[in-house]
Chain A
Amino acid sequence: MSINIGIGFSQDINIELAAAKAVSESITKLGKQRVDLCLVFSTIHYPPQKTIPIIKQAFKSKTNILGCSSAGIILSDSIETRGIAVLTMCSDQVKCGIGSTFNITSENVREAGIALAKSTLENFGQHGRQVSLFFIDGQIGNSSLLLKGLQEVMGNIFPIIGACSSDNFQFKNTFQIYDEKVTQHSATGLILGGQVSAGIAGRHGWRPLGKPRIVTESNGNIIKKIDNKKASLLYEEYFGKEAKNLGIEHLSKITILYPLGIFIGRNNEYLLRNPINILHDGSIICQGDVPVGSEVHVMIGNKDSCKKAAIEAAKEAKKNLLGKEAKLVIIIESMARLKLLGRMASSEIQGIRKIFGEKVNIIGMYSNGEIFPFQTDEKFKKPLLQNESIAIVAIS
């Protein structure tokens, strides 16, 4: 076998014990002494300052450690909203390099993307690149700018999968893990190359609702006016009494289920933008750019459309493996979908598992923004920041 995988998980209430159990299970399943890469997904109940040193201690050789906080953990046979998951990987044929960038502010997001790409590429070295995985702080306002920075270095069509870290809908406790460092306002990345294949796909399953509206004033990721009215009016009208009860400062807590869809005419598709904040002047702050003149819709999703989209994404990711058997499936899924699917969330993952086979290792996290190649008819699809989506990377 060219690639060895081990996944461990624990939700022991003792934080240190949970970390020790998860990493120990992962290494045991890996069955190797050497660990090349360790991916950690943790809910905020397990402070990384306590868990990461324990995880690092478990490795006998130098190991690249990467990860982030999540609203939940996706595993092969369950969805957990509390716990810590550790993926360990070892392969003589697969090359990996990790990188990071810290202290990201609203002024340097694009530059941070460039720095991250350079840092990761430098660590990766001169090997054939196959796929990259980035974890960006969910608290960074305009993550699409960071993606732009990444793409300036790595190219517009290089397969990038990304996740904006999340917490349990508090939008304040997110964190990134890079080696032993645990940071906020940062981003970390991983490039996999060598003899490895990756099948990537993503979908959202949300549908437009109501009449189309035109963004008449915006600045990057801030929509100021829609149809020449203050942007928040759109949601205030749609949510009615609920919006009044919540107040404008908390409106974004429910808009997560009703993102804005930017109509991409050429493909008849919708690029989703999740309002992460609504300012007192009524401006809507999205996670990605919304240009003036964009035709936007309020979007709606339901359990069936979500599950259907996930299955479609899984089928396409499998197809993109070109007949090779998936050893590992990494899922980056919007936390809004977890909220929408509720107890049915695990049935969505079971559907994905059926497509890749019962034995496939699955690990995933719930994000606050997803980066994956946007679904178009073109052969080379450009990765974009999206919301309310599920992105699947199948690795063989």
Chain B
Amino acid sequence: MSSNLILNIIIFTSLAGLSAFAVFQTKSLNKSEEDLKKLKKSFDRLDEQAKLIVKTDLELNKAQEELDKRLNGLDALQQTSRSMSTTLDENEIFNRLDKSLVIGLGFEKNIILIQDKNKKFISRIKLGIEDENIASIISELEKSAEVLKFLNEGDTLSSATSPQDMKLSIGKIFNVEHFIISPIMTKNGMIGIMFVGNGTISSAVTEGDKEMVSILASQIGQSLENARLFEEAFRASQILDTKVKERTKQLASILEEVKYISKAKSEFISAVSHELRTPLTSIKGYASILIAGKLGEVPEQVKQRLEKINIHSDNLVQLINNLLDISRIESGRVEMSIEKCSLPDIIENVRDLLNPQMREKDINWKAEINENIPEMLLDKHQVERIFINLIGNATKFTPQNGIIGVKADYDNDTATVEVSDTGIGISKDDISRLFDEFYRVENTINQNVKGTGLGLPLAKKIIEAHDGKIWITSEIGKGTTFHFTIPIKQ
């Protein structure tokens, strides 16, 4: 009984224990399940976050890729611009373009078509496009009136923004899925197109690509326009250069002719003058004999005529001498008798010589001569003739009680002389011709006073023979000043 009881107690206790254990195990299992559920929930939450991270990362990667592409494009653009801007040769522009264009922008297919004179496209750069496909691309493009219309208006077309039918049409022409086609414009309109494209779906073009290609096409247009303008200017300058050369040649030929004529003229004048002087000497000699009454007394009237013959013969001799001198100086045949001279002394001598004529008209002599002018190496006789001509002219054109001024001064290496009068003055047109041989200004004085028109040309020739210069300033009604300079050679 007791053993049964004990057994029962043991069984009961065991059952109770088992029950308690079962309850505990169930609770524990429930807790594990709950933990597992919590863990699963945590994992799921983690996974949701991971999905978010992947999506964000994907977007960031895309943005990064786009940014990299833009930066690469900008690099290419900068390099291309720099490279293009340093040449004005159209072929060289394309040579420089190809590498930076393709490698920098990173498109699979690239082509630049430029229109020729007949507005037909020709391929200038192509990469990723086979030679045999070029003709059909050009042909198809030229048939695509709508595409060309947009391009002619300066619009850049892209597969990202073009209408579906146009996208398909352009894609078919160039055999690509994604593309940008931009016109190459100049001031005169479209001259070509730039096309870039990709075949694969992962290489879709973006708005940034479109901008980039558009800018590049515009720069190509500008560079080509500059190159063409330069080419035109260069050609024009070449034509001009040729014309100038031809004209120079003609002028040189004419100059040679003129020199020949001038020489012939000088030789003619020289010969004629010599031939004239001999009979003139006889005429003058016979006239003098007759005047002197060596062949018997001549009536007064005859004598008067003979004296006129004598005077005219003198004038003629002077004219011939001047002509001979000009001719000699021109031809370089004159032998200058250079010696040390004092310019103030020469001026004083000439004044003495011409003083009677000046007195006749009560002309005032006003001299400002720097007495310190050093002695110069001059042909005294010839230089006297300069002053005789200039002062003689001044006397001729200065009215009664007028003033003739002579200034002479010097600086380091040049003597400066001015001979002025208070005469009627000379017009600008006449001034320009005053040193022409035989030119005489048409005025009332010249009509009444005889002259050869050789005095001033001779003076000029003598000054030039001394390496000097002569020029005139004049004011109508107030007077004229002749200026000349002669280098001081000691």
Q: Which residues of A contact B (CB under 8 A)?
A: 11-13, 45, 80-82, 168-170, 209-211, 237-240, 242, 246, 250, 253-254, 257-258, 298, 300, 302, 339-340, 342-343
A209 contacts B54, C-beta separation under 8 Å: yes
Other-chain contact of A210, B50, B127, B199 (Cβ < 8 Å): B50
B54 contacts A81, C-beta separation under 8 Å: no
19 examples of A-B residue contacts, CB within 8 angstroms:
A82-B106, A168-B108, A168-B200, A170-B200, A209-B50, A209-B54, A210-B54, A211-B44, A211-B50, A238-B55, A239-B54, A242-B55, A246-B201, A250-B202, A257-B57, A257-B61, A300-B53, A300-B57, A339-B65
A211 neighbours in B (Cβ, 8 Å): 43-44, 46-47, 50
A82 contacts B50, C-beta separation under 8 Å: no
Min CB distance, A145 to chain B, in Å? 28
B67 neighbours in A (Cβ, 8 Å): 342
Other-chain contact of B65, A12, A170, A342 (Cβ < 8 Å): A342
A253 neighbours in B (Cβ, 8 Å): 201-202
**Measured between alpha carbons, how far is A343 from B128 in the docked complex, in Å?**
23
Q: Mark B45-87, 1 if CB is under 8 A from A, else 0.
A: 0110111011101100100110110011000000000000000
Q: Mark B118-137, 1 if CB is under 8 A from A, else 0.
A: 00000000011000000000
Q: With CB as the reference atom, state the residue of chain A lying closest to B57.
A: A300
Stretch of B95-103, B227-235, B461-469 with 4 or more beta carbons under 8 angstroms from chain A: B95-103
**Measured between alpha carbons, how far is A81 from B54 in the docked complex, in Å?**
27
B102 contacts A82, C-beta separation under 8 Å: yes
B61 contacts A169, C-beta separation under 8 Å: no
B55 contacts A240, C-beta separation under 8 Å: yes
Interface size on B, residues (CB 8 A): 32
B68 contacts A343, C-beta separation under 8 Å: yes
A80 neighbours in B (Cβ, 8 Å): 103
A237 contacts B68, C-beta separation under 8 Å: no
B200 contacts A13, C-beta separation under 8 Å: no
**Measured between alpha carbons, how far is A309 from B59 in the docked complex, in Å?**
24
Q: Which residues of B contact A (CB under 8 A)?
A: 43-44, 46-47, 49-51, 53-55, 57-58, 61, 64-65, 67-68, 71-72, 98-99, 102-103, 106, 108, 127-128, 199-203
Q: With CB as the reference atom, state the residue of chain A lying closest to B110.
A: A13
Other-chain contact of B103, A82, A239, A257 (Cβ < 8 Å): A82
**Measured between alpha carbons, how far is A246 from B55 in the docked complex, in Å?**
14
Give 16 A-B pairs besides A210-B49, A211-B47 with Cβ atoms closer than 8 angstroms.
A11-B103, A13-B98, A80-B103, A168-B200, A169-B202, A169-B203, A209-B53, A209-B54, A210-B47, A237-B51, A238-B50, A239-B55, A242-B55, A258-B54, A339-B61, A342-B64
Known: A210-B47, A211-B46, A340-B61. A300 touches B108 (CB 8 A): no
Q: With CB as the reference atom, state the residue of chain B lying closest to A343.
A: B68
A210 contacts B46, C-beta separation under 8 Å: yes
Q: With CB as the reference atom, state the residue of chain B lying closest to A247.
A: B201
A298 neighbours in B (Cβ, 8 Å): 50, 54
Min CB distance, A68 to chain B, in Å? 20
User: What number of A-B contacts does a CB cutoff of 8 Å give?
Assistant: 75
Other-chain contact of B51, A240, A250, A340 (Cβ < 8 Å): A240
**Measured between alpha carbons, how far is A178 from B68 in the docked complex, in Å?**
35
**Measured between alpha carbons, how far is A246 from B323 in the docked complex, in Å?**
107
B72 neighbours in A (Cβ, 8 Å): 343
**Measured between alpha carbons, how far is A238 from B57 in the docked complex, in Å?**
11
B106 contacts A81, C-beta separation under 8 Å: yes
Min CB distance, A372 to chain B, in Å? 25
Min CB distance, B408 to chain A, in Å? 79
A209 neighbours in B (Cβ, 8 Å): 50, 53-54
Min CB distance, A72 to chain B, in Å? 11
B128 contacts A45, C-beta separation under 8 Å: yes
**Measured between alpha carbons, how far is A141 from B242 in the docked complex, in Å?**
73
Other-chain contact of B127, A13, A254, A340 (Cβ < 8 Å): A13
Min CB distance, A348 to chain B, in Å? 14
B54 contacts A300, C-beta separation under 8 Å: yes
A210 neighbours in B (Cβ, 8 Å): 46-47, 49-51, 54
**Measured between alpha carbons, how far is A239 from B50 in the docked complex, in Å?**
11
Min CB distance, A305 to chain B, in Å? 12
